[in-house]
Chain A
C-alpha cells in the first residue's frame, strides 16, 4: 500500500513539475526594450513631488489609466520614497487645465499656462518638480485558434494572440519648463490559451512588463538625483 502510494506520489510530482515547466516556459514569451534619451540632469530635492499623466487627446486610442497608476506606483516604490501625486487628484485640483482638450502638449505651452496665477499657486502648493507624460497603448493582434465549450464536457481547443505595447514617457521640468528626458518602452509577447476540459490562460503580461520597465527606468533617473525625494 505504502509503495503504491509512493509511486503514485512520484508520478504526480513528475506530472506537476512538467506542467509547471511548460507554464513557466510559455508564460515567459514576452520581451521589453527600453530606450532613454536624457537632455538634462534631474535634480529632485527632498519634499518635492512628481506626477505621472496619461495623454488622452488622440481620437484612436487612450493611454490606459491602469498603466499610468502602475508606473506611478513603480516610481514611488522602494526605500527612497519619491512622492508621486495621483493622476486623478492632480487633474481634479487643476481642472480644467489638464483635461484632454486643454492639456499642454509641449513645455512651451506649459510655460504659457503658468502665467495663470491660480494654476501656478496650485502647482507650488503641490511642490511639483517634474511632470511625466506617457503616451501610447497596448494592442492585441494576430488572434488565432478556436475553442469549443459544451455543458458537461467542458472546453477543448487552443487559442493564441499577440500583444504589443508601445509607450513613450516625456519628463518635463515644471519649475523651468523644458524637456528633461524621453524614455520609450516597447514590449511584445504571445499569450496562449489551451483548453482541456478547463481553459488554461498563459498570459504574456505585456502591458505589465512595459510598466515595470518604464517605471524602473524613470525611478533610476529620479533616484540618481543628488537629493531624491
Chain B
C-alpha cells in the first residue's frame, strides 16, 4: 500500500523516458488534495482524569442512566468557515459522571433502564434506589484563539439534568452550563489545548453540580421530606 502510494507520488518525476499519463497526474492531485485536507482537519478523543469531589455525601441511594447519545457523543464541525474538528467527548463524559455522582451519595449504582423512555407505568427498579439521575448534553460549542483573538481555547457545554423518583416520576428538570478555557502554550498542539479546555469545562460542571445539586428547588423540597 505504502509502496503504491510512493510510486503514485513519485511517478510524474521519475518517468523520464515515458510521459506521465493523465491517470498518474490525477492520482497525484488526489494525494495532494487529501494531504491538504488532512492538514485542515483535527480529530480528538477527549481524555482526562477527574478527581472525586471533597463533599459530604447525601444519605441516599442513587443511580444514573447514561444514554447512548451521551456515551457516544461526538461533535463534528459542520460550518464551512471553520476547521473540520471532530471532538469525541462520550467516554470522557461517562468517566466524569461516574467519578462525580457516586461521590455525592452514600450508595450508588448504574441502571440500564431509561426512566424517560420507560414512562412511569413501565419503570421498574429496585425500591432501594431513591433517585435516578439522567444527564443529557444539549449543546457543545468551542472557540479557537484565531477566532476570539485571544490566547485561549474555550469550550461551553449545556446539560439538561433530570432526576426521577424510583417510581419513574420526574422530580426535577433543569439546565446547567459549564465553561472551560485553557491558554495556548508554546509547543502545545491544538488538540492538546482543546482536550484541556473540555476537561476544564467538565470540572466546572462538577463544581457546579456538587455544590448546587441540593439547592435545586424541587430537590431541596424533596430532600427536606425524605432525608
CB within 8 Å of B: which residues of A? 56, 60-62, 64-66, 92-97, 99-102, 118-119, 122
Q: B53 and A65: CB pair below 8 A? A: no
A94 to B206, CA, bound (A): 13
Q: B204 and A101: CB pair below 8 A? A: yes
6 CB-based A-B contacts, threshold 8 Å: A60-B150, A62-B181, A65-B185, A94-B54, A100-B204, A118-B56
Q: A97 and B151: CB pair below 8 A? A: no
The answer, among A64, A96, A122, for a CB contact under 8 Å with B203, is: A96
Q: B204 and A99: CB pair below 8 A? A: yes
Q: B150 and A102: CB pair below 8 A? A: no
Residues A61 and B53 in contact in the complex (CB < 8 Å), given A95-B203, A101-B204: no
A119 to B206, CA, bound (A): 17
A-contacting residues, B38-95, CB 8 Å:
51-56
Instruction: List the 4 shortest-distance A-B pairs measured between CB atoms, nearest first.
Output: A96-B207, A95-B51, A99-B207, A92-B51
A64 to B184, CA, bound (A): 9
Interface of A is mostly: loop
**A67 nearest CB neighbor, chain B only:** B183
Q: A95-B52, A97-B54, A100-B204 are in contact. List 20 more A-B contacts (CB 8 A).
A: A56-B181, A61-B150, A61-B152, A61-B183, A62-B152, A62-B181, A62-B183, A64-B183, A66-B185, A94-B54, A95-B54, A95-B206, A95-B207, A96-B54, A96-B203, A99-B203, A99-B206, A101-B204, A102-B207, A122-B54
A93 to B204, CA, bound (A): 15
A60 to B53, CA, bound (A): 27
B195 in contact (CB, < 8 A) = no
A62 to B179, CA, bound (A): 13
A118 to B151, CA, bound (A): 36
B contact residues, range:
20 to 34
B182 in contact (CB, < 8 A) = yes
A3 to B56, CA, bound (A): 84
A122 to B52, CA, bound (A): 13
B24 in contact (CB, < 8 A) = no
Residues A96 and B53 in contact in the complex (CB < 8 Å), given A60-B150, A61-B150, A62-B152: yes
Distance (whole angstroms) from the CB of A168 to the closest CB of chain B: 18
Q: Which residues of B contact A102 (CB under 8 A)?
A: 207, 211
B208 in contact (CB, < 8 A) = yes
**A140 nearest CB neighbor, chain B only:** B151
Q: Which residues of A contact B185 (CB under 8 A)?
A: 64-66
**B185 nearest CB neighbor, chain A only:** A66
B191 in contact (CB, < 8 A) = no
A118 to B52, CA, bound (A): 13
Q: Which residues of A contact B152 (CB under 8 A)?
A: 61-62
Q: Which residues of B contact A94 (CB under 8 A)?
A: 54
Q: Which residues of A contact B181 (CB under 8 A)?
A: 56, 62
Q: Which residues of A contact B113 (CB under 8 A)?
A: none
Q: Which residues of A contact B211 (CB under 8 A)?
A: 96, 102
The answer, among A65, A95, A97, A101, for a CB contact under 8 Å with B183, is: A65
A226 to B203, CA, bound (A): 39
A-contacting residues, B164-204, CB 8 Å:
181-183, 185, 203-204
- Among B152, B183, B210, B211, the most chain A Cβ lie within 10 Å of the Cβ of B183
A95 to B55, CA, bound (A): 9
Q: Which residues of A contact B210 (CB under 8 A)?
A: 96
**A66 nearest CB neighbor, chain B only:** B185
A64 to B193, CA, bound (A): 13
Distance (whole angstroms) from the CB of A219 to the closest CB of chain B: 24
A96 to B208, CA, bound (A): 9
A36 to B150, CA, bound (A): 30
Distance (whole angstroms) from the CB of B172 to the closest CB of chain A: 21
Q: Which residues of B contact A64 (CB under 8 A)?
A: 183, 185
A-contacting residues, B116-156, CB 8 Å:
150-152
The answer, among B51, B55, B150, for a CB contact under 8 Å with A118, is: B55
Q: A119 and B204: CB pair below 8 A? A: no
Distance (whole angstroms) from the CB of A29 to the closest CB of chain B: 19
Q: Which residues of A contact B150 (CB under 8 A)?
A: 60-61
A95 to B51, CA, bound (A): 7
Distance (whole angstroms) from the CB of A193 to the closest CB of chain B: 15
